[in-house]
Structure 1
Amino acid sequence: MTTFDYGPIEFYAIGFEGDRPGPAVLQAIDDLVAAGTVNVLDLVFARRSPEGEIEVLELSDTIDDGAPALDLAGLASQDDILYLAENLEPGSSAAILVVELLWAKSFAAALYDAGGAVIAREGIPAPIVNAFLAENAD
């Protein structure tokens, strides 16, 4: 059976009002890491000034204590970050998070060994799922 060093990864741009997310967001990321669900590969912050300029801040520039350990800091390129942050409104910010999906690592190896591959993937944000289910509850 094939063994991969890393499982599938996903990039997320998580938007916030103001300069940056609060400490609860970092705690939630730490909880996912501690549970073995994900491995944080890279995390940077982008913010759009009121004048419309995008500034990119490395994690080490924004957090003194309690920052998660990053396995592959720098994996998100400047082009990736600017692409993911392009829809930021002036005065808002985003956490650009790159995570390895640890739960899918052995599944990815099994797919590879079987000659299979994921050919499409679509995510649905939790607020939309929950709103839909609440509207359609019996």
Structure 2
Amino acid sequence: MTRFDYGPLDFYAIAFDGDTPGPGVLKAIDDLVASGTVNLCDLVFARRTADGELTVMELSDTADAGGVPALDLAGLAGMEDIELLTEQIPPGRSAAILVVELLWAKAFAAALYDAGGMVIARHGIPAPIVNGFLAEHDTEEG
């Protein structure tokens, strides 16, 4: 069986008020890493100034990472990725750009590869949208 060094990677942009995420955001990331669900490969903070300028800070450039685990692939999120993921950040807001390896999908990807297949498309639906849709349709049927 094929053994991949890394599983599939997902890029996430998490918006928040202020210059840095609160401790709850960092704890949520840390919990996912500690549980073995994901591997944090890269983490970047981006801020849109009041005049619309985007400033970017790599976690690896900071003196204090605030307890966030070491990054396996620091620098993986390039400027093109960051600009695309932060297009919708309004002036005065910030975002954390996470690149996570989906550890649960690593063996699945290898098995698909060995069977001559691979995932060629993936589309995610954010949890608030899923739950809102289901709640709306549950009340319509009930």
Deviation at 1:27, TM superposition (A): 0.4
CA deviation after TM superposition for structure 1 residue 68, in Å = 2.1
Deviations 1:61-107 (A, max 9, x none): 27453122111111111221122112210001110000000000000
Q: 1:80 to 1:91 in 2, by over 3 A?
A: same
- Corresponding residue of 2:67: 66
Distance in 1 (CA, whole Å) between partners of 2:34 and 2:84 is 30
Q: Flag the 1:24–1:62 CA change in 2: closer, same or farther, 3 A.
A: farther
TM-score (norm 1): 0.94
User: Shift of residue 57 of structure 1?
Assistant: 1.1
Partner residue in 2 for 1:83: 84
Structure 1 ranges of 4+ moved more than 6 A: none
Q: Which amino acid aligns with 2:101?
A: E
Q: Is the 8 A contact 1:26 1:68 kept in 2?
A: no
2:120 partner letter? I
Partner of 2:50: 50
Superposed CA offset, 1:5-50 (max 9, x none): 0000011111112222101101001100111100000001000000
Q: Which residue identity lines up with residue 53 of structure 1 in the other structure?
A: E
Structure 1 unmatched runs, 5+: none
1:130 aligns with 2:131: yes
Q: In the alignment, residue 104 of structure 2 is paired with which amino acid?
A: W
TM-score (norm. length: structure 2): 0.91
| Structure 2: gaps of 5 or more residues | none
Contact residue 15 and residue 89 of structure 2 kept, 8 A: yes
What's the C-alpha RMSD, in Å, of the aligned pairs? 1.4
